[in-house]
Structure 1
């Protein structure tokens, strides 16, 4: 068995709805910028040292990541833009360096909470508001996440920055 890993699944901050702007290009609003910065502070206070990031290509996810001030190698991919848990798990298997100990995925609802529940079906997730992040322990290699039964996968924390 491989050494435990940490997966952090973060929903983007609250976004605005400017007229005439395609969903993909919607920016964060003032509240979303504050939420994302607070989430970054909380992750640091929680001792989460992010080694790699997978981020949706949407503007609001990019701005969320920027506001967290997390500085780690990042892959931007459509694979987590408004996609299913299966798509997100495939992105994790495909884009995560094997030596990463802690991975952050910045994406959208409902894909991220669905991913957490696929990995730990006993997880208590009642809502997943903007800027929420779930912290999961993962016991399999990144290239096997979601493929093998992972008896060590469990939700360790669900944080809602407010």
Structure 2
């Protein structure tokens, strides 16, 4: 088996396992909304990255259908958004929020670095450090969307 397939299978198992065992039932709805919105923004981000030739995907699950990676941008990166949202600090402490953003940006970039340098899943063609502010912006947008969506849900239940 290729190391790319093993990496994807392992990533799928970790994401699904963490979802099933670490997200409590009352937060599953919030997690699913964050995951779906994460898919939407991940798709836009990867589409633009491929279009502007910032990245290419030598190994793809559906090589004849698309130039994009299915698992990375429809399961794994949206899962980062989902876990970011579910573990977002409930206190308004600015330090905790900044550390939360920093932790998830670091984890996401570390994952992207390892799969970019040790597998054929993704090959960065341009500056990888640009991903840091982009991931921060995407997490911020996802959090603002989730906050807005949850507020609408609470108002609808009143």
Per the normalisation by structure 1, the TM-score is 0.29
Structure 1 or 2: larger strand share?
1
Per the normalisation by structure 2, the TM-score is 0.29
Structure 1 or 2: larger helix share?
2
* Structure of larger gyration radius: 2
